[in-house]
Amino acid sequence: MTRRPLALALLLALVPAAASAEDLLQTYELARSNDPALAISEANRDISHEGRVQARAALLPQISGSASLNRSYAAGVDGDARRRSVGVDLSQTVFDLGAISNLRAQRALDTAAGFDLDAANHQLITRTSAAYFNVLVAIETLAAAEAAEAALQKQYDFADKRLEVGLAPITDVHEARAQYDAARANTILARNALEDAYQALAEITGRPVRTLRALPEDFQPEAPVGDGLDRWLATAIENNPSLRAAEYSLSAAEHGVTTARAGHLPRLTLGAGYDNGAAWGDLGTGGSGGTPTGEGHSIGLTLSVPIFAGGATQSRVRQALSSRDISEQQLEQARRALDRNTRNAYQTVVAGVSEIEARRQALVSARSAYEASQVGLEVGTRTVVDVLINQQNLFNAEREYALARYNFLQNRLLLAQAAGTLGIADVQEINRLLTVEAATPDTSAGG
């Protein structure tokens, strides 16, 4: 899959949606066109393909031409001699097990590079979505921090006024001031975190993306479709591109062992040549000025038998065996990691449905508790400390609710990535859930 056809398909998909905010699909299109990591993966795929071409070339006919013109002199003799010659040589490998197994290894590496590129495309989706969702979480976190700061400032002012009329102790004022100052610091940290999240997204897309689309408040998550965890695991083992790449890398390493061992075997080459030459001048012609000419053809087989190479061939075999062992362990490592990641992603998505509902209820409860404590403070049944605690609980509930919702979407994509089925359709499905324009807060130091 090349970049331009996919970018064109994405552009056509985006034509009907003339929205002012950048949605996830538009952001991914920017990343597809500008992400350096993906460009590196595409270049590595091209390098592997050329390695296959070069390995095949070693088994195809090799033709070379030559031409020479010489002039020679002899001491004490007048005159000179000249000779020119032209020739063409052709060689064709008849049998070379090393070259044959090297071609097989390069084919396997070329296929592995294709799967690596697929994996890089999948990683680009999850990297882009993670950076996108991090911005949305940071926006909601900053909004909650600013609201908490404003509310705590009111509590501080309220406690200060109650102190002036003798209705509150000085400790309430100090406590409110401490909480207010902490809220101001949290707002600064949240603002910096949001700016860094924007920059992380721009690092992938190649240009700033400031206006994003977000989830609505009434978002209802759905559990992953399928026949359960076992089916997801089977799909991952069959389709995950990183695992397939590791399998083909092992195959290439096994062919590399054969290539190394072929250093002990003879090689048979067919050769053919044509030569045309002429000589003239005073030397060698008795001063007659004659021009002897010659033309020749040759064809034959050459058998090269390696006898001793100073131990280099045995060393290459041992080296190839160690490389194969590394590939085997890397494949096993990839298989175990895939099993763990698929299980974790599936269980996290399933649990995420319940978590979001629990976080929503926690937010409702925290908001009700905060409002009740404010009323209680006004009528004298609650203290400033009670209000401050409930305000902090409300801030934490808002942040955790936002984090749970966007983590759920990210884990859906991670599950599809582990299964090896992640694609544009998954991005479009998530994108359809983002129906509201996220706020664009001021991230400047004094914002």
In the 3-class helix/strand/coil scheme, how is 329-360 assigned residue by residue? Answer: HHHHHHHHHHHHHHHHHHHHHHHHHHHHHHHH
* DSSP structure string for 12-34: HHHTT---SSB-HHHHHHHHHHH
Residue 255 CA to residue 250 CA, distance in Å, equals 9
In 3-state terms, the chain is what percent helix, strand and coil (to 5)?
65, 15, 20
State what percent of residues in the chain have pLDDT above 70. Answer: 90
**Does the residue 442 lie in any domain?**
no
Alpha carbon distance 149, 395 (integer Å)? 10
Residue 155 confidence (pLDDT) = 81
Backbone angles phi, psi at 440, to 5 degrees: -120, 85
Q: Is the pTM of this model over 0.95?
A: no
Please tell me the predicted confidence (pLDDT) of residue 19.
40
Query: Residue 447 falls within a domain, yes or no?
Result: no
Among candidate residues 78, 123, 175, the one with its CA nearest the CA of residue 383: 175
**Same structural domain, 163 and 240:** yes
Q: Could you tell me the pLDDT band of residue 54, with boundaries at 50, 70 and 90? A: very high
Q: What is the mean pLDDT of residues 173-180?
A: 86
**Section 426-437 average pLDDT:** 93
Residue pair 41/120 in contact by the 8 Å Cβ criterion: yes
CA distance 411 to 417: 9
What is the model's pLDDT at position 4?
45
CATH number for position 367:
1.20.1600.10
State whether 41 and 133 are in the same domain: yes
Tell me, yes or no, whether 430 and 358 share the same domain.
Answer: yes
Same domain for 158 and 299: no
Residue 17 — pLDDT band, cuts 50, 70, 90? very low
pLDDT digits (tens, 9 = 90+) for 310-364: 999 999 999 999 999 999 999 999 999 999 999 999 999 999 999 999 999 999 9
Residue with tokens 């494949």: 331
Domain count, the chain: 2
Q: What is the pLDDT of residues 257-267, one digit of tens each?
A: 999 999 999 99
Residue 109 forms part of a structural domain: yes
Residue 153 has pLDDT above 60, yes or no: yes
Q: Are 44 and 113 in contact (CB under 8 A)?
A: yes
In a domain, 445, yes or no: no
Domain end: 256, 284, 305, which one? 305
Helix, strand or coil, per DSSP, at residue 110: helix
Asked, for residue 443, whether it belongs to a domain, the answer is: no
What pLDDT was estimated at residue 167? Answer: 66
Per-residue pLDDT at 259: 95
Residues 219 and 178 placed together within one structural domain of the fold: yes
Q: At residue 267, what are phi and psi to the nearest 5 degrees?
A: -125, 140
The residue type found at 290 is: G
Looking at residue 284, what is its pLDDT?
53
Over range 415-433, report the average pLDDT.
94
Q: Identify the pLDDT of residue 222.
A: 85
Does an H or E element contain 293, and which? Answer: strand 293-304
At 422 the three-state DSSP class reads: coil
280 and 417 belong to one structural domain: no
- Residues 220 and 259 placed together within one structural domain of the fold: yes
Query: What DSSP state is assigned to residue 289?
Result: -
Give the range of the structural domain holding residue 417, as residue numbers without chain letter. 3-59+96-264+311-437
- When pLDDT is averaged across residues 116-133 and rounded to a whole number, the result is 96
Mean pLDDT of 177-203: 93
Q: What are phi and psi of 172, to 5 degrees?
A: -65, -40
Integer-rounded Cα radius of gyration of the chain: 37
Residue 89 lies in a domain: yes
User: What average pLDDT does this structure show over 27-32?
Assistant: 94
Last residue of a domain, one of 245, 277, 305: 305
202 compared with 4, residue with greater pLDDT? 202
Q: Average pLDDT over the chain, rounded to whole?
A: 88
| Rounded (10°) CA dihedral 343, 348, 349, 354 | 140
- In this structure, is residue 446 part of a structural domain? no
Give yes or no for a contact between 337 and 414, defined as CB atoms under 8 angstroms apart.
no
Transcribe 168-237 into DSSP letters: S-HHHHHHHHHHHHHHHHHHHHHHHHHHHHHHHHHHHHSS----BEE--TT----PPPSS-HHHHHHHHH
From CA 305, how far away is CA 277, in angstroms rounded? Answer: 33
Is residue 351 situated within a structural domain? yes
**287 pLDDT more than 70:** no
pLDDT bin (cut points 50, 70, 90) of residue 444 is low
Contacts for 376 with CB less than 8 Å, ≥ 6 apart: 382, 386
CA distance to 47, 104, 110, 269, 432, per residue, from 404 (Å)? 42, 48, 40, 67, 18
| Vertex 54: Cα angle to 50 and 58 (nearest 5) | 170
Q: What is the mean pLDDT of residues 251-255?
A: 97
CA angle 212, 217, 218 (to 5 degrees): 125
Number of C-beta neighbours around residue 39 at 10 A: 13
- Kindly state the DSSP code that residue 438 receives in the 8-state scheme: P
Check whether residue 167 and residue 214 sit in a common domain.
yes
Classified as helix, coil or strand, 308 is coil
Within this chain, do residues 274 and 178 fall inside the same structural domain, yes or no? no
Give the mean model confidence (pLDDT) for residues 2-11: 48
Q: Which of 252, 283, 305 is the C-terminal boundary of a domain? A: 305
* Band of pLDDT at residue 447, cut at 50, 70 and 90: very low
Indicate if 226 and 375 belong to the same structural domain.
yes
Note whether 406 and 386 are same-domain residues: yes
Interatomic CA distance for residues 403 and 136, integer angstroms: 9
The rounded distance, in Å, linking the Cα atoms of 110 and 251 is 11
- 408 shares its domain with 418: yes
> What integer is the mean pLDDT of 86-99?
95
